[in-house]
């Protein structure tokens, strides 16, 4: 059987949802009998655990190998993308990154990708409208509810400020100035922490401040919902696929004061046992249930199984 090789020539300390998703897809494919691997010369990521088979030696792909590229074609990925021998697939997890690659976005169609896939309808629409790629498939993400689940929630606000540190700091300052009566509420910054550590923090936090930006999907808000936290903040654009009034309080990333107000509203609701807060948490669980592992497993089998059958 042809090898399916996810290309991840990044530092093992680099933290991104795209890297994690590539490993999780390789794991699910291997569980179904596909020869799936991840190519990462620096070794396996240091911040999450994986069962995927790893390739670290110099990669010399065979003609029937299927190389799976991320959307940002930079560094060694450019050389692989211009190869004529192996089969090539593009799996786009952050569609805006295609605009700032070493390969001009208008040249993606010339690189010989046999199929293009992405993780959301938001990304699919962009790739088809802007890059003029056709027949883009959607392979959805899943939320690992065996890892992200409620613990003993404490009254605190957790956040990952990596993409929007100034906005995160501004929201915290606005919150403190406008609601001094809530000044004792602790804030838990999540940075340079393992996936398992992040899951533990989310599961022990009453509220998660959502700070994604220019996403085609956005895993963090859903992981927070799965952990039983109340979510407010930014939908990151791609999160509009699942962000609804019922499961959180959502804004565009320039609504800083409004986000601070929403944090105060949720915390006050928690303190007064507002039934609307319980309904919001339940709606979050219901939303997460739509992103189960089996749905992703079936989509992967259909996509890559079709590629292999077509070659046979």
Query: pLDDT > 70: what percent of the chain?
Result: 100
Q: Which of 30, 85, 40 is nearest to 63 (CA)?
A: 85
pLDDT(312) > 80: no
Counting Cα atoms < 13 Å in the Cβ hemisphere of 208 gives 33
Burial class (CB in 10 A: 0-12, 13-18, 19+), 27: middle
CATH class, range 3-142+292-311:
alpha beta
CB neighbourhood size of 128 (10 A): 15
Whether residue 310 has pLDDT greater than 90 = no
Mean pLDDT estimate for the chain: 96
Return d(Cα 106, Cα 128) in angstroms, integer: 12
Burial of 135 (0-12, 13-18, 19+ CB in 10 A): exposed
pLDDT tens digits for range 63-76: 999 999 999 999 99
Task: Locate 222 and state its tokens.
Answer: 């859903």
pLDDT band, residue 85 (cuts 50/70/90): confident
Q: Domain limits of the chain? A: 3-142+292-311, 154-289
Indicate if the pLDDT at residue 51 is higher than 90.
yes
The CATH class, in words, for 154-289 is alpha beta
Q: What is the pTM of this model?
A: 0.94
């Amino acid at each position: 059987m042809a090898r399916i090789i996810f290309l991840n020539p990044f530092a093992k300390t680099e933290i991104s949802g795209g890297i994690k998703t590539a490993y999780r897809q390789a794991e699910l494919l291997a569980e179904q009998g596909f020869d799936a691997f991840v190519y990462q010369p620096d070794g396996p990521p240091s911040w999450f655990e994986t069962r995927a088979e790893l390739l670290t030696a110099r990669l010399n792909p065979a003609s029937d190998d299927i190389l799976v590229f991320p959307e940002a074609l930079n560094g060694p990925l450019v050389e692989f993308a211009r190869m004529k021998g192996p089969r090539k697939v593009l799996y786009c997890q952050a569609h805006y990154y295609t605009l700032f690659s070493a390969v001009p976005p208008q040249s993606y169609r010339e690189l010989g990708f046999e199929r293009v896939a992405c993780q959301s309808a938001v990304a699919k629409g962009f790739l088809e409208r802007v890059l003029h790629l056709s027949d883009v498939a959607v392979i959805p993400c899943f939320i690992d509810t065996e890892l992200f689940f409620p613990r003993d929630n404490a009254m605190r606000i957790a956040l990952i400020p990596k993409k929007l540190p100034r906005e995160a700091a501004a929201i915290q300052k606005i919150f403190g100035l406008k609601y001094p009566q809530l000044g004792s509420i602790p804030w838990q910054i999540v940075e340079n922490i393992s996936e398992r550590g992040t899951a533990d923090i989310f599961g022990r936090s009453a509220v998660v401040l959502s700070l994604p930006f220019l996403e085609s999907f956005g895993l963090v808000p859903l992981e927070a919902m799965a952990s039983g936290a109340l979510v407010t903040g930014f939908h990151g654009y791609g999160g509009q696929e699942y962000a609804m009034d019922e499961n959180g309080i959502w804004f565009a990333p320039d609504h800083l004061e409004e986000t601070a107000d929403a944090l105060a509203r949720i915390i006050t609701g928690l303190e007064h046992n507002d039934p609307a807060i319980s309904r919001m948490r339940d709606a979050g669980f219901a939303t997460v249930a739509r992103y189960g592992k089996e749905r992703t497993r079936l989509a992967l089998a259909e996509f890559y199984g079709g590629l292999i059958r077509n070659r046979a």
